[in-house]
Amino acid sequence: MAILFLVGLVFAAVGAYGSWRQFLLRRKGQRVTGTVTRVDREWNPAGGPDHPGGYVYWPVLGFQTLAGQHMETRSRVGNSSPGVEAGQPVRVLYDPANPGDAEVDIFSAQAAALLVPLMCAAVGSALVIAGIVTAIGR
């Protein structure tokens, strides 16, 4: 089935890109102290009959880069619970080449930012293999 192969290839590529991006942020990113200026809340309808969806909370971070630039940006990592409150001081990890690309530097945010793309890459790889096996079996 060519469709399995193509869908798997897309999932694997997106997952690999996301994992690589997170790896680079962890390796080259700068850590500073910032403040949660607010927490944005968005409804995520994804789910199904057993999972009706829920809110995703995105911290908006205010911080000063090591180059002295004042930033306010929404974290690229959201969560199903707020985890932080407006006004709370937090460690911020940002990309010095693109300071708008930032997240709260805590284990749960880092784990989510790494695990989701890795799972996507794994599912994509499994679909690619299933597509190849199906094509060979014909």
**For residues 36 and 41, what is the distance between their CA atoms, to the nearest angstrom?**
14
Q: How confident is the model over 37-58, as pLDDT tens digits?
A: 999 999 888 766 667 788 889 9
Spans of all domains in the chain: 2-137
Alpha helices in 1-138 (DSSP H): 2-28, 107-137
Which pLDDT score is estimated for 89? 97
Which pLDDT score is estimated for 87? 96
Q: How confident is the model at residue 60 (pLDDT cuts 50, 70, 90)?
A: very high
Q: Which residues contact 109 (CB under 8 A, 6 or more apart)?
A: 75, 77, 79, 103
Which pLDDT score is estimated for 46? 73
